[in-house]
């Protein structure tokens, strides 16, 4: 089968600008039938130049695990993943799943598409700068044929001609990966059933966002990871040539 180019929604680009000071609520969205609850993002303490480092807060203690992700590339069907697997893709911050692999996600997981759109609209009404570089973890929804979690990495503010440039997309990818893994840890914590057992993706950013896959892969492998229970191996699926 021809290799599908592009595993993300329409466009987004991060700029090598300094990190935002505004921190957003990162929510674990789910429909009323889903057991997921809203999870509030932990604030990172600001560090002023020339000051002594302070003791880590509870939020900080959950980060900087010293571990790194391993990306295992395979050929096959991304959507053949077993139950309780996270399937994540790169998304624009407008909640539009209209092109590329995002359109396939929309067709297979219509409830997740609506939840992601609602999430984007909610955050954008408060501050449009809060969404880039974050992630959304959507649990399996009632009626889904495949019990997959959907992960949305918000790597570009927009899509098409107004997508972000590659440096910004890569910066956003790194922090979004960190955020996604944090949410996986929080989902798995204390659960005996319905735990996330695997994480699969495609060659995100490489299609409509036009970022070379190898550059995205390096960012993912170097991303800061939280402490806690989550898969350290990510399976990247590509369709056969």
CA angle centred on 212, ends 215 and 91, rounded to 5°: 90
Tell me the DSSP string of 57-101.
-HHHHTS--S---EEEEEES-GGGPPTTEEEEEEEETT----SHH
Q: What is the CATH number of the domain that holds 205?
A: 3.40.220.10
Q: Is residue 173 part of a domain?
A: yes
pLDDT of residue 241: 60
Q: Is residue 139 part of a domain?
A: yes
Cβ pair 114, 32 in contact under 8 A:
no
Q: Could you tell me which residues are beta bridge partners of residue 86? A: 149, 199
pLDDT, averaged across the chain: 82
Question: For the chain, how many structural domains are there in total?
Answer: 1
Nearest-angstrom CA–CA distance, 104 and 122: 24
Q: How long, in residues, is the chain?
A: 241
pLDDT of residue 114: 98
Q: Could you give the strand order of the β-sheet that contains 135-138, starting from the edge strand earlier in sequence?
A: 70-75, 233-238, 198-201, 85-92, 149-156, 135-138
Overall average pLDDT of the 163-190 stretch: 98
Query: Is 13 a residue whose pLDDT tops 50?
Result: no
pLDDT of residue 26: 43
Q: Is residue 17 part of a domain?
A: no
Nearest-angstrom CA–CA distance, 81 and 119: 25
Residue found under tokens 């408060």: 126
H or E element that contains 153: strand 149-156
Q: Is residue 70 part of a domain?
A: yes
pLDDT digits (tens, 9 = 90+) for 126-176: 999 999 999 999 999 998 888 999 999 999 999 999 999 999 999 999 999
pLDDT digits (tens, 9 = 90+) for 42-93: 334 433 333 343 444 444 456 556 899 999 999 999 999 999 999 999 999 9
Cβ pair 24, 123 in contact under 8 A:
yes
Per the structure, the complete domain to which residue 181 belongs is given by 66-238
pLDDT of residue 50: 39
Q: What are phi and psi of 108, to 5 degrees?
A: -80, -30
Strand 233-238 versus strand 149-156 pairing type = unpaired
pLDDT of residue 7: 46
Q: Could you tell me which residues are beta bridge partners of residue 136? A: 152
Q: Is residue 185 part of a domain?
A: yes
Which of residues 214 and 32 earns the better pLDDT score? 214
Q: Is residue 40 part of a domain?
A: no
Gyration radius of the chain over CA positions: 17
H or E element that contains 235: strand 233-238
Q: Is residue 157 part of a domain?
A: yes
Q: How confident is the model at residue 36 (pLDDT cuts 50, 70, 90)?
A: very low
Q: Is residue 53 part of a domain?
A: no
Residue found under tokens 């402490």: 227
């Amino acid at each position: 089968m021809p290799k599908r180019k592009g595993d993300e929604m329409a466009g987004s680009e991060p700029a090598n600008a300094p990190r935002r000071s505004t921190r957003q609520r990162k929510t674990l969205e789910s429909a009323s039938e889903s057991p997921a609850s809203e999870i509030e993002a932990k604030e990172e303490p600001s560090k002023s130049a020339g000051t002594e480092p302070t003791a880590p807060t509870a939020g900080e203690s959950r980060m900087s695990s010293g571990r790194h992700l391993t990306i295992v590339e395979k050929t096959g069907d991304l959507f053949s993943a077993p139950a309780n697997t996270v399937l994540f893709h790169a998304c624009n911050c407008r909640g539009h799943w209209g092109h590329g692999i995002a359109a396939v996600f929309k067709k297979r997981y219509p409830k997740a598409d609506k939840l992601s759109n609602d999430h984007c609209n909610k955050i954008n009404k408060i501050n449009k700068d809060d969404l880039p570089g974050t992630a959304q973890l959507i649990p399996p929804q009632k009626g889904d044929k495949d019990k997959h979690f959907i992960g949305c990495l918000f790597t570009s503010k927009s899509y098409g001609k107004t997508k972000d440039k590659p440096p910004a997309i890569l910066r956003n990818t790194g922090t979004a990966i960190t955020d996604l893994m944090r949410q996986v840890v929080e989902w798995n914590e204390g659960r005996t059933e319905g735990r996330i057992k695997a994480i699969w993706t495609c060659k995100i950013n490489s299609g409509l966002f036009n970022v070379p896959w190898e550059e995205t892969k390096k960012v993912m492998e170097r991303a800061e990871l939280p402490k806690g229970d989550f898969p350290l191996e990510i399976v990247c699926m590509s369709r056969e040539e």
